[in-house]
Amino acid sequence: MKDEQKLNRLLRSAAQAPEDVPTSAPFGFDTRVVALWRTGGKSSNGNGLSQLIRRVAILASAVIVIAAAAAFREFKTEDNLAEPLANEFAIADSVIQDEFSQ
Amino acid sequence: MIFIKVFQKLSQFSGKVPLEHWVSRIAVNTCLNQIAFEKVRPEIRHADLTEEEQAVVENLNTSSRELTPDNKFASKQLVEHLLEALKPAERLVIDLICMQGFSVEEVHQKTGWSAALVKVRAFRARQKMKRLLGQISAGEK
């Protein structure tokens, strides 16, 4: 009997409690989720560390490409410079040989 | 809980499927996990209750007066704990009769169950709830 009274009191009190808030998605929730996803999921690192690393990698790649192009160009110019010099030596050498032969 | 999970696992969303499908899959999995959890631990222990719910139990044990208005929310949560241990049909009957104040006849019209069946289910559900409440009260002592 006492248990019955306790349960009745509990149920009466619970029935007077205000209704729960609706469990549907909050206003604009889906928009925020899609926006967060489109930004690349920054939440995985919190401070955008992955984005910084990505930018540094892109910059480093660009520097490597530019440096390689400059080195190649330099190498080509050295080749062009070396050729006339080689001709000069060849001319001088042939002149000396001619003089000695005479 | 589902919205929190969606935010936590957002990095795992591949974008290959619509967002609605992905969210509904998370919702279904969360519900299945909850059902599995309830099957593993169907009983309610006093230690599992919040401080407010424990205060309600103490109030029920020590006093015969009606619970105060500030205990209403905690008492509703406690009732929900008790309802979780019932079968779905019994839960529905208690919710309709005791929480929403419908009569047996109205429940009969809403559910299609006979009036006798409604009464039997309500009686069994109340017996179970009394037993569970007694267990919780015993755990408090």
Judged by CB atoms closer than 8 Å, whether chains meet at B101 and A15 is answered as yes
Chain A residues inside the 8 Å CB shell of B10: 33, 36-37, 41, 43
pLDDT score of B105 more than 80? yes
Distance CA(A75)–CA(B128), nearest Å, equals 91
Which of A4, A5, A9 has the most B C-beta neighbours within 10 Å, making it the best mutation to test the interface with B?
Answer: A9
- B109 — pLDDT class (breaks 50, 70, 90): very high
Question: Looking at this protein, which amino acid is placed at residue B120?
Answer: V
Q: Bigger pLDDT: A77 or B95? A: B95
B76 contacts chain A (CB < 8 A)? yes
Helix (H, G, I), strand (E, B) or coil at B62: helix
Note whether A4 contacts B130, CB cutoff 8 Å: yes
* Contact A35/B at CB under 8 A: no
For residues B43-56, one letter each, b for 16 or more C-beta atoms within 10 angstroms of the residue's C-beta and e for the rest, the string is ebeeeebeeebbbb
Instruction: Please state the ipTM of this predicted complex.
Output: 0.70
Residue type, A23: T
CA distance A16 to chain B (A): 7
A10 touches chain B (CB under 8 A): yes
Q: With DSSP H G I counted as helix, E B as strand and the rest as coil, what are the percentages for chain A, rounded to 5? A: 80, 0, 20
Q: Quick check: B139 pLDDT over 80? A: no
Say how many Å lie between the first and final Cα of chain B, rounded: 33
Per-residue pLDDT, averaged over A4-31, amounts to: 80
* Position B125 pLDDT exceeds 90: yes
pLDDT in tens, A36-63: 777 765 555 555 677 788 899 999 999 9
* Inter-residue contact A9 to B72 (CB < 8 Å): no
Residue with tokens 């500030």, as numbered in its chain? B70
Structure confidence by residue, pLDDT tens digits, B48-98 = 788 888 888 888 888 878 777 888 888 888 898 888 888 889 999 999 998
Backbone angles phi, psi at B117, to 5 degrees: -65, -40
- Tell me what the pLDDT averaged over chain B comes to: 86
B3 vs A7, A29, A43: nearest CB: A29
Confidence of residue B127 (pLDDT cuts 50, 70, 90): very high
What is the value of pTM for the model shown? 0.53
The two structure tokens encoding residue A66: 């530019």
Phi-psi region of B133 (alpha: psi -120 to 50; beta: other; left: phi over 0): alpha
| pLDDT given at position A79 | 67
Residue A1, chain B, CB below 8 Å: the answer is: no
